[in-house]
Amino acid sequence: MIRALGDFTTRLVNGCSVGMHADVYAPYGRFARPAGARREIWIGGGVGISPFIAWLKDPSANGFERVTLFYFFTPGREFPTVETLEEIARERGAELVPVSRGPDDPAFVQRFKELAAENDPNSIKVSFCGPQGLMKAVRQWMRTLGIPDRNLDHEFFDFR
């Protein structure tokens, strides 16, 4: 996915076309799906949704019935669309919770609380990719609900 956010990515988007050959030298990170988790919570903020889409599209992966994916987005700027993500999640058996109003959005707060109440908080693994401010709020909710900090794996980004 390429989103035109600045000069370089705008030129990149404008210069790409369907069928064009590309050499890709990534990913460079070590962000991986937790092995053997009994309950997975994935949180993607903005373009931070990308690794979760990759995990959902991995044909060798399974166990998506244990996954709840929270997609934080700004209305009118979401990419991919909520409808596209709903289709991908439905095909793999994962639950998608779109969140358009930040970490205090009732869609997030209510479902996050339910997941913590329905499961042993020690068995919940949280995977996060998004901006640091959102991660701070997620950590606070985890602590409030008794989910240990050690159960959070993250990649975060900041615009430079």
In a domain, 104, yes or no: yes
- Digit-by-digit pLDDT tens for the chain (160 residues) are 676 766 777 888 888 888 888 776 555 556 789 888 999 999 999 889 999 999 999 999 999 999 999 999 999 888 889 999 999 999 999 999 999 999 999 999 999 999 999 999 999 999 999 999 999 999 999 999 999 999 999 975 655 4
In a domain, 96, yes or no: yes
- CATH code for the domain of 68: 3.40.50.80
For residue 88, what pLDDT is reported? 97
pTM of the predicted protein model:
0.83
In a domain, 30, yes or no: no
Side chain identity at residue 12, one-letter code: L
Beta-strand pair 67-72/95-99: parallel
As for how many domains the chain has, the answer is 1
Residue 78's domain spans which residues? 36-157
In a domain, 47, yes or no: yes
In a domain, 118, yes or no: yes
